Amino acid sequence: MATRTTAEIEAELAVARDRLSSNIAALVGEVHPKLVVHRTIEDGKQDVKRGLVDTKQSAIDALAAAKSWLSDNAELLLAEAKARFTDENGVRWDRVAAAGAAILAAGGLVAVVTHHRKH
């Protein structure tokens, strides 16, 4: 084994010290509570952003599917609605009145709920 000079040993020690210092700094960066909290918050923000993008795309897809279904079934839906409110004698006023009452009741419920939420 070759004999090392004092300068070589000191140079190796300096390199080892620098490497150890870098390793300790990296370790502190990984486990320091404030940095862990910061990384956790940033990760959470990214998860929320990804979730919003996924939710938005799901809503867009659902609306496109609903629009397509309505487009394909519009005539059938209109025929069924017409059949519910008319017969061979014309308009079935009892059913028109029942539908109107249901619409008014739903509107009243919305008004009451909205009023209570404001107060």
Query: 44-75: buried (b, 16+ CB within 10 Å) or exposed (e) per residue?
Result: eeeeeeeeeeeeeeeeeeeeeeeeeeeeeeee
Q: Give the pTM.
A: 0.40
pLDDT tens series, the chain, 119 aa: 678 899 999 999 999 999 999 999 888 888 888 888 888 999 999 988 888 888 999 999 999 999 999 999 999 988 998 898 898 999 999 999 999 999 999 999 999 998 888 77
Asked if 85 and 99 touch (Cβ cutoff 8 Å), the reply is yes
